[in-house]
């Protein structure tokens, strides 16, 4: 497979307004035939039942059945599939495990899903240089499992780390509970092999993470599959900490818990993780896991310190004093690794566990400054009451990355109200000096909110960068950027146009 190191892109549309993508060509039998020329027959899915399995990601309110699904087995076959799409003028969407929560992997009606689920090899664990070379379908947690015998681990740990893949983590720039101290995916990826929209293969970054010229590695990470497909990634491994101490602290109010977080950081203590859960999320998680959460506590913090043993012991004394000063009603300190893992299971199972207390829910993702945590949670509670819906909160308090869960019942006709509340919460984060997303991405879900955070000029620059990589916008189209189709006729549950309701036009 020919490979080149990519230089900085250049060129543009000559306008700040996003240009219209080239319309997709109709999908015919010759497309499937071309795919079968480069893939085994059972790796080309054309039947409706098989294609419907790929109609959405973890945001199930947005669905679209693709025209075709292909399952390449290695990087060469991925590049061959992309070249076929380019030759036929057909858009494509790369898909990992489908655990994303922003509709980023939702297919295109006349497009192809390129599933990377068969690219699951750990190609190398380089102990001496503390690196791992991976295919994109490797599960996040499996990286640390493979590195553990060498006293190493991979730091980013999304709650879905047992089932999410490193390719998806690269696409969304995923973080996790320990991102306060260790950062996000972009802080741990050194080098990537990427297939561009024309099927050419480039290398972004380098063995040390550095590359001459613009940081195209950093540009690609978090681009949500709109710039190409990552087929190989080299990540940084860290040495397993000498000591780890965790405390589960209950508080009489969310405000008290929020103030505690601020004081911890002000005291120059940088915990590996600071997570907050409210009573509703603890109720659901405790029922599912039995982790020892206090379900009637208004709020709890899970705080973890790691590093040299003497340093951890000194910081732990200071940390618990801060918690007590803010009125902590219980301080539970696990003494065994198994007990500590149980506490973390309670936190990481929260999203799924909410299904026990609500038939349907939407997971939102936004960021606010730490100093405004109490304010934003108060506002969210007020907005939930006004909408007649419950909102559970579980999030990365250390960096202000919120994950409100809007609970509703589709059967009771609450979907539209829940979707509006979810969008309003994301936009509230921007109003309070934060951003629309911390790690789940924009995808389909929040594309129409992008103008709340970015000016037309900002969006124009972003779009021109995208066109430098993908001139025809064939690579995961309809994501990130607001478009008339997406924002006027959003995918998912059908809503009639006002002219249709007035009898002026008919739906065909």
Residues 473, 226: Cα–Cα separation, whole Å: 8
Mean local confidence (pLDDT), 69-84: 98
Where is average pLDDT lowest: 27-31, 88-92, 276-280, 396-400? Answer: 27-31
**Which of residues 215, 239, 263 is at a domain's end?**
239
Both 139 and 233 in one domain: the answer is yes
Amino acid 496: pLDDT: 63
Burial class (CB in 10 A: 0-12, 13-18, 19+), 474: buried
Both 37 and 89 in one domain: the answer is yes
Residues 90, 86: Cα–Cα separation, whole Å: 6
Backbone angles phi, psi at 95, to 5 degrees: -135, 135
Task: Give residues with Cβ within 8 angstroms of 406, minimum separation 6.
Answer: 361, 362, 364, 384, 389, 391, 418, 421, 422, 425
Residues 64, 62: Cα–Cα separation, whole Å: 7
pLDDT category of residue 7 using cuts at 50, 70 and 90: very low
Both 112 and 1 in one domain: the answer is yes
Amino acid 211: pLDDT: 79
pLDDT category of residue 61 using cuts at 50, 70 and 90: confident
**Which of residues 205, 224, 239 is at a domain's end?**
239
Residue 497 has pLDDT above 80, yes or no: no
Residue 490 located in a structural domain: yes
CB 304, CB 245: distance < 8 Å = yes
pLDDT category of residue 28 using cuts at 50, 70 and 90: confident
Tokens of 1: 């497979």
Residue 255 located in a structural domain: yes
Nearest to 3 by CA among 72, 70, 79: 79
Both 152 and 196 in one domain: the answer is yes
Burial class (CB in 10 A: 0-12, 13-18, 19+), 14: exposed
Where is average pLDDT lowest: 293-297, 396-400, 401-405, 487-491? Answer: 487-491
Nearest to 7 by CA among 213, 219, 229, 227: 213
Helix, strand, coil content of the chain in percent (nearest 5): 35, 20, 45
Task: Give residues with Cβ within 8 angstroms of 60, minimum separation 6.
Answer: none
pLDDT category of residue 305 using cuts at 50, 70 and 90: very high
Amino acid 273: pLDDT: 96
Both 147 and 101 in one domain: the answer is no
pLDDT digits (tens, 9 = 90+) for 411-442: 999 999 999 999 999 999 999 999 999 999 99
Amino acid 210: pLDDT: 79
Residue 166 located in a structural domain: yes
Question: How many distinct structural domains can be found in the chain?
Answer: 4
Q: Compute the chain's Rg from CA coordinates.
A: 23
pLDDT category of residue 248 using cuts at 50, 70 and 90: very high
Residues 121, 61: Cα–Cα separation, whole Å: 32
What's the mean per-residue pLDDT of the chain?
Answer: 91
Both 40 and 73 in one domain: the answer is yes
What CATH number does residue 307 fall under? 3.30.70.2190
Mean local confidence (pLDDT), 17-46: 78
Tokens of 97: 């495990």
Range of the domain at 319: 243-357
How far lies 161's CA from each of 63, 112, 139, 185, in Å? 24, 26, 7, 13
What CATH number does residue 154 fall under? 3.30.465.10
Nearest to 166 by CA among 200, 140, 190: 140
Residue 374 located in a structural domain: no
CB 44, CB 36: distance < 8 Å = yes
pLDDT digits (tens, 9 = 90+) for 191-217: 999 999 999 999 999 988 877 889 999
Both 110 and 169 in one domain: the answer is no
Amino acid 504: pLDDT: 61
pLDDT digits (tens, 9 = 90+) for 105-151: 999 999 999 999 999 999 999 999 999 999 999 999 999 999 999 99
CB 278, CB 254: distance < 8 Å = yes
pLDDT digits (tens, 9 = 90+) for 370-391: 889 989 999 999 999 999 999 9
Residues 356, 350: Cα–Cα separation, whole Å: 10
Residue 127 located in a structural domain: yes
**Which of residues 216, 239, 262 is at a domain's end?**
239
Both 234 and 138 in one domain: the answer is yes
Backbone φ/ψ region at 94: left (φ over 0), alpha (ψ -120 to 50), beta: beta
The pTM (predicted TM-score) of the whole model is 0.89
Residue 373 located in a structural domain: no
HEC states along 411-440? CCCCHHHHHHHHHHHHHHHHHCCCECCCCC
How far lies 232's CA from each of 104, 147, 167, 199, 276, in Å? 20, 18, 8, 15, 34
Nearest to 91 by CA among 34, 27, 48, 41: 27
Both 146 and 228 in one domain: the answer is yes
Mean local confidence (pLDDT), 64-76: 97
pLDDT category of residue 27 using cuts at 50, 70 and 90: confident
pLDDT digits (tens, 9 = 90+) for 468-494: 999 999 999 999 999 865 676 544 445
Secondary structure class of 263 (helix, strand, coil): helix
Residue with tokens 């679209």: 64
Residue 8 has pLDDT above 90, yes or no: no
DSSP 227: S
Residue 469 located in a structural domain: yes
How many CA within 13 A on the CB side of residue 487? 12
Both 5 and 114 in one domain: the answer is yes
Both 106 and 167 in one domain: the answer is no
pLDDT digits (tens, 9 = 90+) for 326-346: 999 999 999 999 999 999 999
pLDDT category of residue 16 using cuts at 50, 70 and 90: very low
Residue with tokens 């739906």: 507
Both 61 and 136 in one domain: the answer is no
Residue 6 has pLDDT above 50, yes or no: no
Task: Please report, rounded to a whole number, the percentage of residues in the chain having pLDDT higher than 90.
Answer: 86
How far lies 174's CA from each of 82, 100, 190, 401, 498, in Å? 25, 10, 15, 12, 39
Residue 301 located in a structural domain: yes
DSSP state string for 459-498: HHHHHHHHHHH-TT--BSTTSSS--HHHHHS-SSS----H
What is the four-CA torsion angle of 148, 153, 159, 164, rounded to 10 degrees? -80
């Amino acid at each position: 497979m020919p490979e080149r190191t990519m230089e900085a892109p250049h060129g543009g549309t000559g306008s700040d307004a996003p240009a219209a993508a080239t319309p997709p060509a109709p999908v015919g039998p010759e497309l499937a035939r071309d795919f079968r020329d480069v893939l085994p027959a059972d790796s080309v899915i054309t039947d409706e039942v098989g294609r419907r399995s790929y109609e959405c990601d973890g945001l199930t309110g947005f669905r679209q059945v693709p025209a075709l699904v292909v399952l390449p087995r290695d990087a060469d076959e991925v590049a061959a599939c992309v070249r076929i799409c380019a030759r036929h003028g057909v858009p494509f969407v790369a898909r990992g495990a489908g655990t994303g929560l922003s509709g980023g992997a939702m297919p295109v009606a006349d497009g192809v899903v390129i599933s990377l689920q068969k690219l699951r090899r750990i190609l190398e664990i380089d102990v001496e240089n503390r690196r791992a070379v991976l295919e994109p379908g490797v599960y996040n947690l499996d990286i640390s499992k493979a590195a553990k015998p060498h006293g190493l681990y991979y730091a980013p740990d999304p709650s879905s780390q047992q089932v999410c893949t490193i390719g998806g983590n690269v696409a969304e720039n995923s973080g996790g509970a320990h991102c306060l101290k260790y950062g996000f995916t972009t802080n741990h990826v050194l080098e990537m092999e990427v297939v561009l929209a024309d099927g050419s293969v480039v290398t972004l970054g380098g063995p040390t993470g550095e590359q001459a010229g613009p940081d195209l590695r950093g540009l690609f990470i978090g681009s949500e599959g709109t710039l190409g497909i990552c087929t190989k990634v080299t990540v940084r491994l860290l040495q397993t900490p000498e000591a780890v101490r965790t405390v589960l602290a209950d508080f009489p109010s969310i405000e008290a818990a929020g103030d505690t977080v601020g004081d911890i950081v002000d005291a120059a203590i940088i915990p590996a993780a600071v997570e907050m859960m409210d009573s509703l999320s603890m109720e659901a998680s405790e029922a599912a896991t039995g982790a020892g959460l206090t379900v009637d506590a208004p709020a709890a913090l899970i705080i973890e310190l790691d590093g040299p043993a003497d340093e951890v012991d000194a910081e732990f004394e200071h940390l618990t004093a801060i918690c007590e000063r803010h009125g902590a009603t219980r301080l539970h300190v696990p003494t065994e690794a198994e007990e500590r893992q149980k506490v973390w299971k309670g936190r990481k199972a929260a999203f799924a566990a909410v299904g026990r207390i609500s038939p349907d829910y939407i997971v939102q993702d936004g960021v606010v400054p730490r100093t405004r945590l109490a304010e934003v949670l108060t506002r969210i509670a007020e907005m939930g009451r006004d909408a007649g819906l419950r909102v559970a909160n579980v999030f990365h308090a250390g960096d202000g990355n919120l994950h409100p869960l809007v609970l509703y019942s589709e059967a009771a006709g609450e979907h539209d109200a829940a979707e509006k509340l979810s969008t309003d919460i994301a936009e509230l984060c921007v109003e309070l000096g934060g951003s629309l997303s911390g790690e789940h991405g924009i995808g389909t879900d929040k594309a129409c909110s992008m103008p709340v955070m970015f000016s037309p000029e900002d969006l124009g620059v972003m779009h021109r960068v995208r066109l430098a990589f993908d001139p025809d916008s064939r690579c995961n189209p309809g994501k990130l950027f607001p478009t008339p189709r997406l924002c006027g006729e959003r995918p998912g549950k059908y809503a009639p146009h006002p002219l249709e309701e007035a009898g002026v036009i008919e739906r065909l």
